[in-house]
Chain A
Amino acid sequence: MIIIAIYNRSITYFLLYAVETDNLSKVYSSGLKAVDEISIKVKNGEIFGFLGPNGAGKSTTIMILTTLLKPTSGNAFVAGFDVTTNAKAVRENIGYVQQDSTVDEYLTGRENLELQARVNHIPKNVRSKRVDEILEIIELSDRQHEAAVTYSGGMRKRLDIGGGLLNMPKVLFLDEPTLGLDIQTRYKIWEYIKKIHDEFGMSIFLTTHYMDEADKLCDNISIIDNGKIKITGSPKELKNALGNEIVVFEIDSSDKINTLVSNIKKLTTVKDVSIDGTMITVFTTSGDQLTPQIFQHANDLAIKIENISLTKPTLDDVFLSHTGRELREDDGKYDRKKVRERMRRIRA
């Protein structure tokens, strides 16, 4: 195990990117372009967050990278191997923890891991020892002989993550690892993810809906929407790009809101402005300077400010500023026409 960890680390020096895609596209037979010429680079050894609204193309991308789907065009390399021409080598070097639990409820925790170890061709002589080690890491040793049907959601997730670690992968794919778990369990799962990352030094490709999760865990993130990459960078960079502070205020009527916004946009400290009804959000480099100026401009237009607050940007703000605030349909189909109509109604 230690030798493999060292080996994984030494690979870091030779291999620059754990995951690299080049104009990767996937068009389904229905004509839906789920992934649209994306190019991402995940540095070896980093935790990379892949964020996006429902139906943005996250799952399709992950399925291509884990060799479950063939891309329509473009290239993708995982752990240095081409996913289309060298799928077997890719499969030998990755771990994939799916969004939905894949735990076999009929089998015990240990049998689940043994099954996955066999499937991953872990030699017979080390199999049992490896399973013991993984059970230790995911803290399930004491309940390993109980049927998985008796496990809680958090224990099942840990078992799933443990399964992804058995073959000591160079790249670990975690698809929504804390979806549907309570706060305590989410914190615990984050600890495990950090622990295994520190211990084995593998690269982690993580998708999530939770911005706090991405903020806590990821070295770099990319935001995908409608199959295209919107922005890439470290959580800190992305937050700073929005400005250091956010001023949110509500005005009494939306009559002259456009004039007010265009006046505010001209101010030097302002980075971006967005409107939601009578609520205006201003991203700025200096909230202290901006606040009195906002009052001044509102006063000039005879607009009354109902309330105002000053906050720091979170990754939520980054996400919303790049993907918009419209609600997405949960089934992943995104009706542009409807959205456009709704937007027109809002503007009118």
Chain B
Amino acid sequence: MTMLVDAYTIFWREIKRYKKSRSGILIRLIQPAIWIIVMGNTFASTRPLIQSVGFHGSYIEFMAPGVIMLTAIFTSIFGGVNTLWDRRYGFMNKALVSPVSRSSIALGKMLAISLISTLQSSLILGIALALGVHIANLFVIFPILLTVTIFSLGFSGISVIVAATSKSQETFWGVINFLGMPLFMLSPALFPLELLPSWLAFAARLNPVTYSVLLIRQMMTGTVQMLPVAIELSVICGFVIVMVALASYVFTREVNKPF
């Protein structure tokens, strides 16, 4: 119980800081917005290919879930960087000499990143809808955003782990850029899995991003079927549980070492 209260304290602080950095909120939207506008129109002529695997909308409608996930991936994987600032500028030590447990600091950060990621993704969803992307009905927005929240909670774990183990900003950004883009590309975000070479499709099946994209796409097109959804949800939830445990373990181990 104390752990959740403590995690909430850290969460409260991160969200307060997020709210005060208004310019950052907009800047982070530029990249996904460019993706959806430029890539969405560049690849518009791939529509027959996509239709051949059973997707009946336009290419923009196909890639919209991918761009929502792009936002979620990058917001959450970048989110842990302030761990490095906190260690450099003392807030971390302040928290570490207080009765708050190390795991709850990691968890609080992950919860905050996950909420921020959801907010950013909801703005991109709004942009997609404004561009004429059709969704089955407005009520699916909530389960879509819930999927983003859960996925981001797990994915922010990567960020927290990399931030806790890196000693410098350079290491952090190096590792994060190495991880972020491939994980995005290696999923059906921009192109259907069915059209990938089998070895790439296999690799994509090992990527939790794949399951989140598929789940969101099904919800947007209103083609939800029980079995695939159950598989996708259990993969995502399993991923989240593993990441939360791993992140709090690594974080606890790393912050006890001298920085």
Contact = CB atoms under 8 A, between A and B. Distances in A.
Contacts of A91: 97-99
A107 interface: yes
A116 B12 contact: no
A163 B94 contact: yes
Interface in B14-56: 16-17, 20-21
B41 to A, nearest CB: 38
B93 to A, nearest CB: 6
Given A69-B258, A100-B90, A119-B9, A92 B99 contact: yes
B15 to A, nearest CB: 11
Contact of A116 (B94, B96, B256, B258): B94
Nearest to B19: A106
B202 interface: no
B21 A106 contact: yes
Given A63-B258, A69-B258, A111-B16, A104 B91 contact: yes
Interface in A82-106: 88, 91-92, 94, 96, 98, 100-102, 104, 106
A180 to B, nearest CB: 14
Contact of B20 (A88, A96, A106): A106
Contact of A100 (B17, B20, B89, B256): B89
A322 interface: no
Contacts of B97: 66-68, 91, 94, 96
Contacts of B96: 67-68
B16 A107 contact: yes
A107 B17 CA distance: 7
A70 interface: yes
A245 to B, nearest CB: 43
B4 to A, nearest CB: 13
A7 interface: no
Given A106-B16, A107-B17, A111-B16, A118 B9 contact: yes
A120 interface: yes
Main secondary structure on B side of the interface with A: helix
A295 interface: no
A119 B16 contact: no
A15 interface: no
A181 interface: no
Interface string B85-118: 0000111011111111000000000000000000
Contact of A102 (B6, B89, B100, B256): B89
B13 A115 contact: yes
B91 A102 contact: yes
Contact of A119 (B90, B95, B258): B95
Contacts of B6: 119
Given A70-B256, A118-B9, A121-B99, A104 B93 contact: no
A102 B258 contact: no
Interface in A128-159: 147
Contacts of A106: 16-17, 20-21
Contacts of A167: 98
Contacts of B91: 102, 104
Nearest to A104: B91
Interface string B164-189: 00000000000000000000000000
A102 B95 CA distance: 11
A187 interface: no
A268 B99 CA distance: 57
Contacts of A104: 13, 17, 91
Contacts of A210: none
Contacts of A68: 93, 96-97
B126 to A, nearest CB: 26
A322 to B, nearest CB: 27
A82 to B, nearest CB: 16
A63 B90 CA distance: 12
Nearest to B95: A119
B251 to A, nearest CB: 15
A115 B105 CA distance: 13
B185 to A, nearest CB: 34
Contacts of B17: 104, 106-107
A103 to B, nearest CB: 9
B9 A98 contact: no
A98 B87 CA distance: 12
Given A106-B17, A107-B16, A96 B99 contact: no
Interface of B: 2, 6, 9, 12-13, 16-17, 20-21, 89-91, 93-100, 256, 258
11 contacts: A69-B258, A88-B99, A96-B93, A98-B94, A104-B13, A104-B17, A106-B16, A107-B20, A119-B94, A120-B99, A121-B2
Given A66-B97, A115-B9, A120-B98, 4 more contacts: A102-B91, A106-B21, A118-B9, A147-B20
Q: 9 closest Cβ contacts across the A-B interface?
A: A102-B90, A118-B9, A119-B98, A106-B20, A96-B97, A66-B97, A106-B17, A98-B90, A91-B99
